[in-house]
Amino acid sequence: MAHTGKILVTGSGIDLTLLRPLEEAGNSIVARPKLLSPAELKAELRDAVAYLHGGEEYASGDALSTAESLKIVAFMGIGYESFVDVDAAKERGLRVTWTPARRPDAVAVFTLGQIIYANLGIRNRLDERYPPQWSAAVPMPSELSAQRVGIVGLGSIGSRLAGLLLTIGCEVSYYSRTRKLAETSLDLTYRTLPDLAAWSDILVVLLPETPSTVNIIDTSVFARMKEGSILINTARAALVEPVALGNALRDGTIAVAAIDGHYRDESVNAALMREFGPRLLWTAHVAAHTRQSMAAMVDQAVRSVLRALDNAPDENMAVGQ
Asked if residue 132 has a cis previous peptide bond (ω within 30° of 0), the answer is no
Q: Is 282 left (phi over 0), alpha (psi -120 to 50) or beta?
A: beta
262 is catalytic: no
Q: How far is it, in rounded angstroms, from Cα 152 to Cα 173?
A: 9
Under 8 Å between Cβ of 317 and 304: yes
Rg of the Cα atoms in the chain: 21
Task: Decide the pairing of beta strands 317-319 and 95-97.
Answer: antiparallel
- 32 noted as active-site residue: no
Query: Edge-to-edge strands of the sheet including 317-319?
Result: 28-32, 6-10, 48-53, 72-75, 95-97, 317-319
- 187, burial (CB in 10 Å: exposed 0-12, middle 13-18, buried 19+): exposed
CA distance to 26, 94, 108, 118, 169, per residue, from 208 (Å): 34, 22, 14, 22, 27
Which entry of 32, 191, 279, 285 is annotated as an active-site residue?
A: 285
Annotated catalytic residue, options 236, 262, 303, 307:
236
Active site (annotated) includes residue 266: yes
Distance CA 250, CA 222 (A): 12
What whole-number distance in Å separates Cα of residue 279 and Cα of residue 83? Answer: 29
Distance CA 298, CA 292 (A): 10
- Kindly list the catalytic residues: 236, 266, 285
